[in-house]
Structure formats: C-alpha cells, structure tokens
Structure 1
Amino acid sequence: MKKYLLILSDIEQKISDGQYRPGQKLPSVRGAAELYGCSISTITRAYAELEKRHAIYSISQSGYYVVGKTEDRSVDKEDKTIDFASVLPDVDVFPYLDFQHCLNKAIDIYKHQLFTYGDSLGLEKLRHTLASHLAGYQVFANMERIVVTSGAQQPLELLAKMPFPNGNSVILVEQPSYDIYLRFLEKEGIPVSGIARTAKGIDLRQLEDRFKTGSIKFFYTMSRYHNPLGTSYSADQRKAIAGLASKYNVYVVEDDYMADLGEEQGFDPIYAYNRTSHVVYLKSFSKIIFPGLRLGVAVLPETLLETFHAYKGYSDTSLLSQAALEVYIKNGMYERHKSKICSQYAARIRLLNEAVDRYNDAGLIQISNVSSGIYVQFKLPLTVNLELLMKRLVERNVSVVSGKRFYLSDYMEREKFLRISISRTQSEKIERGVKTIVEEVDRMVIDPAARSSIT
C-alpha cells in the first residue's frame, strides 16, 4: 500500500479512537513528515485526501484541524445495551464517501453498459480485476472460472441443489457452523451430516473416514475466522483437508467470507493447497464494505462451471454495484479500508481478551484463542442453564447469541457456549460486558438455586 494511504488510515483511526478530537489541531506538515518518516509531499497528499473526505479542514496561516461529527451520535452513546450479538459492520467505519465517489466514477466509465441486463457471470472488467485481487489471497484462477454472485449465500444454495460429478448426495458440515445455511439445508430436505469442530480444530482421522464412507458430495467449511468459533485451521490442517479431497474425490466448499476482517498474514486457504480442482472458493464483500452491497464471488473448478451456470441462469446483481466495486478495488480504496477496519476490530478483540484475563479468575469460561476477525467463543460449564443465563444478561443490558442455533437439529454432541461478536461493540463497553457475563456464569455455578434446570 502507498505510504500516504497508510498515513491517511492511521490518522483516521486516531480520529475514530478519540486521540484526535473534533476541533483539535493536527501536527504541522513538517512535523507530521518527521513523525511518519516521509517527505512533506506525502503528508500534503494525505492531508488533502482527508480534506476531501471531510475528516479535517485547513485554516490559512494556521494549519489543519479535525472536523466535528455532523451526525449526532448522542443517543447511541447513551444507549446502555452492550451489543455482543450483531454481526453487521460498524456503521462508523462504512466507507460512504469513498463508495459514493466510486459510484459516480462507475457511471462515467460504464454509462451504456449499466442499462443492459448484463452477463450472468458478472461484469467482465470486474472479473478481470477480481482475478488479480484474489491472487493476493493465493487463489489463482482465470476470469472464466470466476462468477460474481449475490453475496455468499446464493452460491451456497446453488451448490447444495445442483448435482456434482462424483455422484454423491450428502453435504458434510462442521458442527457448529453457519446457522442460516444449516436451516436452509434442513428446510430443503437436502441430505446433510455433521462433523465436530472445536476451537482446537477437527479430527482429521474422522474426516477421512467420512470422506471415504459417507457418500459426501462436498464438505462445507470456514477455514478462517469461523462462525461461531472465531478460530482458523492451522496450515497442516488445511493441507490435510486439501489432500483428502483429492484422495477420495470429495469436493470442498471453502467459505472465506471473513477473509478481510483479520490481521493474520500469510494465510493460504485450502484452495491454495489443492492440485486436483476439488475446491470451490467463496468470498463476500458485504462484511467489509456494507451488507446492502450484496456482492460476492465464487471460484469454481472446470468440472462444475457448466452446471453452476445453468442453475444460476441469469444476471441477478446490480451492474452499478459491480462497476463501483471494480473502481473501488482498482484505485486502492479497498485495501486502505481493509487496513482500517482490521485494525479497529483487532483492537476490540485485544480489549476483550484482556477483560477475560482480568475477570475470569475461576476459569469457568473457556474462550477460543482468537486475535483477529470478529467472533470469540465463550464455552460454558455444563451445569449452566443457558436459557436462564441469556435472560439474565438481557436484564443487565448485555446482548449475546446462544450457541444452540449453530447446530443441526438432530446433532447431539453439542458444546454449550455463547458466540461473542465485537463488530458493533463500542470499545468502552467491552470490559463491562465481559465482567457482566463472568459474574452471571459464576453466580449460576456457585449458587445451585440460580440454576433450577439444565439445558
């Protein structure tokens, strides 16, 4: 990333964190150049860009100052709820101005193309750009194997319904896993089976046995920043899964929709290790930009392309959104925004981990080892009445999500846990929220009267 963009991102983060307050004067151009170890022209460019984004303003003969927020957030600040439940991106980091610029630019560039139905595979120029973009994730594919989709949910549903070359019918899913997809599979009556995944990973011998004997069409997995565990597979586990897929002619559907929300470097997805084209790679742009964008991408093996195209049928994503995303990625705004949001989320995860260390003296809550992404698993003692705990947390203005929903209805070997999400949790509330959860769990374990029944 260019130096001025890194500086711009750092200043925006300091404004967001309150280190630079509304009306506060920023370092002089010369002072900032010394601070960041760069040229005066680099600082001038970064300050000019911040002015265009209405983050700072300049006063002649005086310097640069932080703009006060135009949106009144006083109601939100007074809100007593500690939100550990929402998975939506933080509205305070939505790239409104950037994307507005890209929308305007896209209209200028594409004009007449935006008034057609478009290619069912997606805007050709966007797919060219995505080929280069995905290579940065060690996902190498030519444009012909890249399909623009309506988020990640659409290709998951299409893949579940369509036949696969191996002739098998059962979809193998991690337990726990993405709840909306589990409900879809059950509602549609699609053959589905579960395999345990914990914060430590998966039993590869059990996975091999299921691949070998289970008539598995594909294995659905989130290799990093798993929902709801928050954990990622090790490199050895990812390599092993890729090898088992080739050995037993089982496909892997790798849902990497959280790829952009962590600071982990050098992570090669399962796709990168598979040499026999048995991996479908999925990625969404909604979690990092904003949900309403509804754009994702599927990278498909040659053997699945024709059938997938037939099931998809027609163009169903906004050409204007596609064109704007192409501009957004091409001009470097995407990488800058990714750096900003990853830094913010990682800071919140650190605060949460520190709070657990501070208050969980009895060790009754086991948390997944997570330093990036947005999810953390709070594993609870079996004696805790989960429904009663949820009720008490609501009474104390703490919103969390029960782990029950992330399992198939008939799956019996369940862990008892809360899924904690930090994507919309205000930093100043994280410690208080963790303290409240620990207090209520301690209370239910220590006081038998506080747990009238076990669920």
Structure 2
Amino acid sequence: MKKYLVILSEIEQKILEGQYRPGQKLPSIRSTSELHGCSMSTVIRAYAELEKRHTIYSISQSGHYVVEKSGDWPNDNTSKMIDFASVLPDVNVFPYLDFQHCLNKAIDKYKHQLFTYGDSRGLEKLRHTLASHLAGDQVFTNAERIMVTSGVQQALEILAKMPFPNGKSVILVEQPSYDIYLRFLEAEGIPVSGIARSAGGIDLGELEERFKSGNIKFFYTMSRYHNPLGTSYSAEDREAIAGLASKYNVYIVEDDYMADLGEKQGFDPIYAYNRTSHVVYLKSFSKIIFPGLRLGAAVLPESLLESFHSYKRYSDTSLLSQAALEVYINNDMYERHKHKICSQYAARIRTLNEAVERYNDAGLIESSGVSSGIFVQFKLPQTLNLEQLVKRLVARNVRVVSGKGFYLSGCLEREKFLRISISQAQPEQIEEGVRAIIEEVRGMKGYNSIH
C-alpha cells in the first residue's frame, strides 16, 4: 500500500477508536513525516485526502482538526443493545465518500455502456480487473473464466440447479453451515447430505468415503472464516480436500466470502491446491464494502462455463455498481479500506477473546478462539436450554444467534452453540456482552434441555 494511504488509514482508525476526538488537533505535518519516515509532501497528500472526505479540516497558521460529526450520523452508538447477531458491516466504516467518488467517475468513464443491457458474464473491464485482484489470493485465472454475479447467493443457487460433468446429483454440505443456503436447498428439493465439521476441523477419512460412494456432485465449503464457526481449514486439510476432489471426480464449491477480512497473509485457498479444475471459487464484495452492492465473482472451470452461463442467461447485476467497483479496486481504495476494516475487526476479536479468558474461569463455554474474521463460536453444555438462554440474553440487551438453524432439518448430531458476530458490536460493549453470556450460562447450568 502507498505510504500516504497508510497514514490516511491510521488516522481514520484512530478517529474511529476515539484516540482522535472531534475538534482535536492532529499532529503537525512535520512530526507525522518524522514518525512515518516519509517526506512532508506524502503527509500533505494524506491530509488533503482526509479533507476531501470531510474527515478533517484545516485552519490557516494553526493546523488540522478532526471534523465534528453531525447529529444525523448513520450510527451514533447510543443503542443499549449489544448486537452479537448482525453480520452486516459496521456503518461507521462504510466507504461512503470513496464509493461516491467512484460512482461519479464510473458514470463519466462508462457513460455509453451504462445505458445498455450489458454482458451477462459481467462488465469486461471489471472481469479483467478481478483476474488481477484475485491473483493476490493465489486464485490465478483469466477474465473468460470469471462470472460477475448478484452476490455469492446467486452463484450458489445456479450451481445447485445446473448439471455437472460428473453426472452426480447430491450436494454435500458441512454441518453446521450457511443457514440461508441450507434452507434454499431444502425448499428446492435438491438432494443434499451433511458431514460434521467442528472448530477442530473435519474428518478427512469420512470425507473420502463420502466422495467415493456418496454420489456427490459437489462439496460446499467455507475454507476460511467459516459461518458460523469462524474457523479456517489448515493448509494440510485444504491440500487434502483438493486431492480428494481430483481422485474421486467431485467438485468443490469454495465460498471464500470473507477472503479479505483476515490479517494473516499467505492463506492459499483450496482452489490453489487443485490441479484438475475441480474447484469453483466464489468471492463476495458485500462484506467488506456494503451489502447493498450485491456483487460477487465466480471463478469457474472450463467444463462448467457453458452450463453456468446458460442458467444465468441475462445481465442482472447493476452495470453502474460494476463500473464503480472497477474504479474502486484500480484506484487502491479497496486495498486501503480492506486494511482499515481488517484492523478494526481484528481488534474487536482480540477484545472478545480477552473477555472470554477473563470471565470464563469455570470453562462453561468453549470458544473457537479465532483471531480474525467476524465470527466466533461459543460452544455450550449439552444440558442447556438454548432457546431460554437466547431469551434471557435479550432481556439483558444482548442479541445472539442460536446455532440450531445452521444444520439441515434432519440432522440429529448437533453441537449446542451461539454464533457470535463482532461486526456490529462496538468495542466498548464487547466485554459487557461476553460477561452477560457467561453469567447467564452459569445461572442456567444444570437445566435439562427440552430442545
């Protein structure tokens, strides 16, 4: 990342964390340049960009100051509710001004193309941009194998309905897994089977047996930042899964929807380990920018392109959104925003983990103990009444999500857990929320479950 963007991101982060408060004077240009070991012109560029975003303002002969937020700021954090349920990005880190700039630039740049129906595969310039962008995640492909979709959900639905070259029919899903997709598969009557996955991983021996004899069309998996567990597969497991796909002619649908939300570098997805084109790689841009964007990308093997294209049929994603995303990525704004949101979410996860360590001295819950992403699993005693726990927490202004809905309807072997999301939980609320959860579990311990 360019040096001025590093300075810009650091200042924005400190403002969000309250280290720089509204009306406070920022360090001088000279002291900032000395701190970062860069020229004063680099700092001037960063400060000028912050002024354009209405984040700071300057007073001649005095310096730069943090802008006061207006009373109608989207989220004033005055709610008493501690929200561990929502998966929406924090509105305080939405890149409103950046994306507004990109929308304006996209209208000017693509003014003639925006009034057509467009290519059902997606805007060509965006697909070329995505090919370069995905290479950073070790997903090497070309624009012809990328389909721009209306979010990852659309790609998942098409893949479930279309035939695959292996001629098989059953979709294998992890248990637990993405609840909305499970409900879709069941509602559509699509043959689906589950395999257990815990915070510790998956039984590769059982997975091989299922690939070998289960008539598996594809295996749907979230290799990193699993929803709802929050955990990621080890490199050894990812490589092994890629090998099993090749050995038994089973496709992998790898939903890497949170690829950009981790601080760790060097995570190679299952896609990177597979040499026989048995992996469909999916990526979303909603979780890191904002949900309303509704843009995702599907990287498809050659053998699936024609069928996927025929099921997609027409252009159903906003050309303006696609054009703006292309500008956003190519102007380094995406990389800068990713850095900011990753740092903020990682700090919240650290706060949560510290709170668990502080209050969970009796070991009443088992945390998945992740260090990045947005989800953490709180595994609970099997005797606990999960529905009663959720109600009691709501009465204490703590919203959580029961793990019950992340399983197929007929699944009998279920862990009892809460899925904790930190994306909407403000840092100052997290410790209080964790303490409330553990106190309620302690108070209910010994209750017999009726569910």
Bin of the TM-score, shorter chain as denominator length: over 0.9
The CA deviation string for residues 256-278 of structure 1, in whole angstroms up to 9 with x for no partner, is 00111111210000000000000
Which residue of structure 1 lines up, in the alignment, with residue 402 of structure 2?
A: 402
SS at match of 2:414: coil
Which residue of structure 2 lines up, in the alignment, with residue 205 of structure 1?
A: 205
Instruction: Name the CA distance, whole Å, in 2 between partners of 1:186 and 1:128.
Output: 36
Q: Does 1:90 align with 2:86?
A: no
Q: What amino acid does structure 2 have at the position aligned with 1:454?
A: I
Structure 2: runs of 5 or more not aligned: none
Q: What amino acid does structure 1 have at the position aligned with 2:231?
A: T
Alignment of 1:239-318 (within 5 A): 239-318=239-318
1:74–1:249 CA distance, 2 compared to 1 (3 A):
closer
Q: What TM-score results when the alignment is normalised by the length of structure 1?
A: 0.98
Please report how far the alpha carbon of residue 454 of structure 1 lies from its aligned counterpart in structure 2 after TM superposition: 3.4
The CA deviation string for residues 79-134 of structure 1, in whole angstroms up to 9 with x for no partner, is 21100000000000000000000000001111110000000000000001000000
Which residue of structure 2 lines up, in the alignment, with residue 117 of structure 1?
A: 117
Which residue of structure 2 lines up, in the alignment, with residue 420 of structure 1?
A: 420
Instruction: Name the CA distance, whole Å, in 2 between partners of 1:452 and 1:221.
Output: 33
Instruction: Name the CA distance, whole Å, in 1 between partners of 2:245 and 2:269.
Output: 14
Q: What amino acid does structure 1 have at the position aligned with 2:387?
A: E
Q: What amino acid does structure 1 have at the position aligned with 2:382?
A: L
Instruction: Name the CA distance, whole Å, in 2 between partners of 1:74 and 1:86.
Output: 16
Which residue of structure 1 lines up, in the alignment, with residue 167 of structure 2?
A: 167
SS at match of 2:267: coil
Which residue of structure 2 lines up, in the alignment, with residue 145 of structure 1?
A: 145
Q: What amino acid does structure 1 have at the position aligned with 2:216?
A: I
Instruction: Name the CA distance, whole Å, in 1 between partners of 2:140 and 2:75.
Output: 47
Which residue of structure 2 lines up, in the alignment, with residue 57 of structure 1?
A: 57
Instruction: Name the CA distance, whole Å, in 2 between partners of 1:57 and 1:74.
Output: 21
Q: What amino acid does structure 2 have at the position aligned with 1:217?
A: K
Q: What amino acid does structure 2 have at the position aligned with 1:64?
A: H
The CA deviation string for residues 351-409 of structure 1, in whole angstroms up to 9 with x for no partner, is 00000000001001000020000000000001111111111001111000000000000
Instruction: Name the CA distance, whole Å, in 1 between partners of 2:314 and 2:74.
Output: 45
Please report how far the alpha carbon of residue 75 of structure 1 lies from its aligned counterpart in structure 2 after TM superposition: 8.1
Structure 1: runs of 5 or more not aligned: none
Please report how far the alpha carbon of residue 38 of structure 1 lies from its aligned counterpart in structure 2 after TM superposition: 1.2
Which residue of structure 2 lines up, in the alignment, with residue 180 of structure 1?
A: 180
The CA deviation string for residues 131-162 of structure 1, in whole angstroms up to 9 with x for no partner, is 00000010001110001000000010000000
Instruction: Name the CA distance, whole Å, in 2 between partners of 1:73 and 1:132.
Output: 36
Instruction: Name the CA distance, whole Å, in 2 between partners of 1:337 and 1:293.
Output: 15
The CA deviation string for residues 50-96 of structure 1, in whole angstroms up to 9 with x for no partner, is 11111000111111111011244598433211000000000000000
Instruction: Name the CA distance, whole Å, in 2 between partners of 1:80 and 1:40.
Output: 43
Q: Is the 8 A contact 2:74 2:91 kept in 1?
A: no
Instruction: Name the CA distance, whole Å, in 2 between partners of 1:189 and 1:408.
Output: 12
Number of equivalent positions: 451
Q: What do you get for the CA RMSD once the two structures are aligned?
A: 1.0
Q: What amino acid does structure 2 have at the position aligned with 1:429?
A: Q
Instruction: Name the CA distance, whole Å, in 2 between partners of 1:405 and 1:36.
Output: 48
| Aligned structure 1 segments of 4 or more residues deviating by more than 6 angstroms | none
Alignment of 1:368-407 (within 5 A): 368-407=368-407
Instruction: Name the CA distance, whole Å, in 2 between partners of 1:77 and 1:104.
Output: 30
Which residue of structure 1 lines up, in the alignment, with residue 9 of structure 2?
A: 9
Q: What amino acid does structure 2 have at the position aligned with 1:48?
A: A
Task: Percent identity, please.
Answer: 81
SS at match of 2:376: strand
Q: Does 1:430 align with 2:426?
A: no
The CA deviation string for residues 385-439 of structure 1, in whole angstroms up to 9 with x for no partner, is 1111111001111000000000000011100000000001011000000000000
Q: What amino acid does structure 1 have at the position aligned with 2:370?
A: V
Which residue of structure 2 lines up, in the alignment, with residue 454 of structure 1?
A: 450
Please report how far the alpha carbon of residue 233 of structure 1 lies from its aligned counterpart in structure 2 after TM superposition: 0.2
SS at match of 2:225: coil
Q: What amino acid does structure 2 have at the position aligned with 1:38?
A: C
Q: What TM-score results when the alignment is normalised by the length of structure 2?
A: 0.99
SS at match of 1:261: coil
